[in-house]
Amino acid sequence: MDPGNREERMGRIEKKKVITALLIVPPIIGGIALGPSPTLGLMVLIATFLGLREYFRLCLPRSKPIEKTIGVGLGLIFSILALYDKTSAIIPFFIFAFLLLALLFMVTSDSLGSSVSNFALTFLGIFYVGFLLSYVTLIRNMTDGKIWVLFLILTVWAGDIFALFSGVLFGRHKLYPKISPNKTVEGLIGAILGSLLIALLYSYFFLPSLNRWTVLPLGAGLGFFGQLGDFIESMIKRSAQVKDSGSLFPGHGGMLDRLDSFLFSAPFLHYFLSLWLEETL
């Protein structure tokens, strides 16, 4: 990439991307901050539905509409279990889903050669989108859940935005061009610093009891896992040979492109809080 001509490169950040963001962000933040408790659970459910649909469109052959529908349905159940805080049912439900999918692919496959790999891709998808995203709802169920969900969203978004700008402005060293030609080491560092900055600001105002030294690994971790999620989604898209997972949001690709940063950062925050809250209680 030509290091000079920054203005031209900044211009590549499309206007429609900014406009879409400005239209989508206020209702999401407002809904979580002001809406009743199930609002977030419902948002997660809708996001999971759209994300799963995209995943199965990417990863299963066109000829498998029944398998896709059942995959979406099974994946959604994790969000519903999370909504009612039935965490003890998660593992038995995974076993049930495994059995059901095994039998389904056994019965519907003409060629057994690909049936196990399609089965494996479906099982992976309900874990990847359905289960991992349900952690957002699980965080909402914790003490001060609303504050922590907003913390997650703002910190991870800050990471995404800082990754974009620092990548465009300073990006020289490609991270792993085989998967994602535009990602740079500088973008990743920017994401971690951006998440950290917003985590420090947010916790100063809304989480005064949080130790400043706890915010450092937390903020940096959220930035890192956000970018890692983005990266893994890129691999899945690349494997399916598409650029965007869908075209739901102008300039932002599909739902999976928007969710990817939360898929690992949400579990990270959940376990960080579980361990941290246990220590402080």
Q: Which residues of this chain interact with its own copies, rule CB under 8 A?
A: 59, 90-92, 94-95, 98-99, 102-103, 105-106, 112-117, 119-121, 123-124, 127-128, 132, 176, 178-179, 228, 231-232, 235-236, 238-241, 264, 267, 271
To its own copies, the closest distance from the beta carbon of 107 in angstroms equals: 8
Cα(109)–Cα(162) distance, rounded to whole angstroms? 46
To its own copies, the closest distance from the beta carbon of 196 in angstroms equals: 21
Contact 257, 269 (CB under 8 A): no
Return the number of the residue (34 or 95) whose C-beta is nearest its own copies: 95
Return the number of the residue (96 or 204) whose C-beta is nearest its own copies: 96
Report DSSP state, residue 253. Answer: B
Contact 57, 63 (CB under 8 A): no
Return the number of the residue (122 or 203) whose C-beta is nearest its own copies: 122
To its own copies, the closest distance from the beta carbon of 238 in angstroms equals: 5
* Helix axes 185-206 and 212-239, enclosed angle (nearest 10): 140
Contact 165, 6 (CB under 8 A): no
CA dihedral of 68, 46, 203, 226, whole degrees rounded to 10: 30
To its own copies, the closest distance from the beta carbon of 99 in angstroms equals: 6
Return the number of the residue (23 or 240) whose C-beta is nearest its own copies: 240
To its own copies, the closest distance from the beta carbon of 114 in angstroms equals: 8
Return the number of the residue (198 or 230) whose C-beta is nearest its own copies: 230
Contacts of 147 (CB under 8 A, 6+ apart): 206, 207
The CA distances from residue 152 to 38, 128, 198, 273, in Å, are 18, 18, 10, 12
Return the number of the residue (17 or 57) whose C-beta is nearest its own copies: 57
To its own copies, the closest distance from the beta carbon of 227 in angstroms equals: 12
Other beta carbons less than 10 A from residue 219's beta carbon:
26
Other beta carbons less than 10 A from residue 159's beta carbon:
33
Contact 150, 33 (CB under 8 A): yes
Return the number of the residue (32 or 129) whose C-beta is nearest its own copies: 129
The CA distances from residue 8 to 3, 185, 251, in Å, are 11, 21, 18
To its own copies, the closest distance from the beta carbon of 141 in angstroms equals: 15
